[in-house]
Amino acid sequence: MNQNHLMSNERVFVAGIGMHRYQFPSDTPYTHLGLAAVREALADAGVPWHAVQAAYVGTTSIGMAAGKVMLQHLGSNGLEVVQVENASASGSFAFRQACNAVALGLHDVVLAMGVDKHGAGQRAANKDGIEHLSPVETIPAVQFALLARRYLRQNGLGVEAMASVAVKNHANAARNPFAQYRKARTLDEILRAPKVVGDFTVNQCCPRGEGAAAVVLMSERALTRMGVGAGRAVRVLASVACSEKPASSPWDPVTQMVADSARAAYESAGIDPGDLDLVELHDAFSAEELMYCEAMGLCRPGEGFDYLRRGLSAIGGRCAINASGGLLGMGHPLGPTGIGQIAEITRQIRGEATGRQHPNARLGMAHMIGLGTVGVAHILSK
């Protein structure tokens, strides 16, 4: 794997965050969703729009030049605008590009944001000119349902194990004002819900919808120059990205990619997995959290459910996993999702996650995967 770490000439900080609540599809224009998040991030950082030198916009389903069409309503100031599409990881890669722009000294005040509406996003895998073995071969829900059965069988677990992930994450989302789902659910409710595919019931699959998230990134020099309070700035310690390769362990290639990218992020940040207080990870389907917490080294292989059962991944536990509610509860509008993870970790590290605050949060990792398959990990520090 090309472990293309954040090679930093400048230290990179998240200075401002903003969100538009994730919600079910509506008639709200995407410009309203996105600008609400951007304005909130600018106000949170205390910087004017004209100070922003570049903007990286993650989106999947809106169309060409969505970023410039939206941002011109704040004023045309000649800034660099880059639109990023990488499936579920679109916002995460927009954030990575923004980090690199600051780290390399290209700009020192940069916007990274994601916005999406549930629309006409199309998978390139359906246009590759290859005759597929099955018409459902490229559908993520089918792929993850097969991985889930393999994981449960290997570890001697019943479907209650992965349904318990949904119980935790829906409960967290019920405490999150930005979440699409705001209702805690019992294990029985989740197991009795209609099935979608394989053993996944409705509440074990993330909802699609719309929303927006934004962050303002700054160099240390810019923080000082613009008088931004350093006490609320959260440092980006690592940013790594990779793509899927053949698995060299008992894991499948997707879980192997999660392991590789997490390990590279730890090496770049100079930390161990046991140092993490927070992790926001891709739980589009409930079983993923069990698989990935093992791959990330938060617990040993085969112990993901035990880690959950003992409350170690709960808010107040050893490492809060998906304190936001994750994709299962907070929602997964695609473009904003990775930026929303960054906003949640920043809010937690600042001690501002009212109602769901993880105690003494100082170090967190945001990890996303996207169709293709690509992986990206960011580590943030107080």
State the pairing for strand pair 278-280/363-370: parallel
Whole-Å CA distances, 1 to 4, 8, 154, 238, 261: 9, 20, 27, 16, 9
Q: Could you tell me if 345 and 278 are in contact, meaning their C-beta atoms sit under 8 angstroms apart?
A: yes
pLDDT of 7 = 54
Residue 226 has pLDDT above 80, yes or no: yes
Q: Could you tell me if 67 and 54 are in contact, meaning their C-beta atoms sit under 8 angstroms apart?
A: no
Q: Which has the closest alpha carbon to 164: 330, 331, 313, 323?
A: 313
Q: Which residue do the tokens 């004002």 mark?
A: 177
Round to whole Å and give the CA distance between 275 and 71: 38
Q: What is the pLDDT of residues 286-334, one digit of tens each?
A: 999 999 999 999 999 999 999 999 999 999 999 999 999 999 999 999 9
Residue 4 has pLDDT above 60, yes or no: no
Q: Who has greater pLDDT, 372 or 255?
A: 255
Q: Which residue do the tokens 């005759």 mark?
A: 131
Residue 3 has pLDDT above 50, yes or no: no
Mean pLDDT, rounded, of the chain: 93
Tokens representing 48 are 């004017």
Q: DSSP letters of 84-145?
A: E-BTBTHHHHHHHHHHHHHHTTS-SEEEEEEEE-S-----GGGGSS---SSTTTT-HHHHHH
CA 99 to chain centre: 15
Q: By CB neighbour count within 10 A (0-12 exposed, 13-18 middle, 19+ buried), where does 362 fall?
A: middle
User: Dihedral angle at the C-alpha atoms of 257, 128, 145, 326, nearest 10 degrees?
Assistant: 60
Residue 120 has pLDDT above 80, yes or no: no
Round to whole Å and give the CA distance between 237 and 255: 23
Let me know how long the chain is: 382
- Name the pLDDT band for 130 (thresholds 50, 70, 90): confident
pLDDT of 128 = 66
Mean pLDDT of 181-195: 97
Where do the domains of the chain lie? 12-119+208-232
pLDDT of 10 = 84
Residue 215: CB partners within 8 Å, gap ≥ 6? Answer: 14, 16, 17, 18, 41, 95, 98, 111, 112, 113, 339, 342, 343, 346
> Model-level pTM?
0.95
Among 92-101, 104-113, 264-273, 367-376, the minimum mean pLDDT is found in: 367-376
Topology, domain 12-119+208-232: Peroxisomal Thiolase; Chain A, domain 1 (3.40.47)
Round to whole Å and give the CA distance between 58 and 214: 10
For residue 195, the cross-strand partners are 201
Q: Who has greater pLDDT, 180 or 131?
A: 180
Q: DSSP letters of 211-249?
A: EEEEEEEEEHHHHHHHT--GGG-EEEEEEEEEE-----S
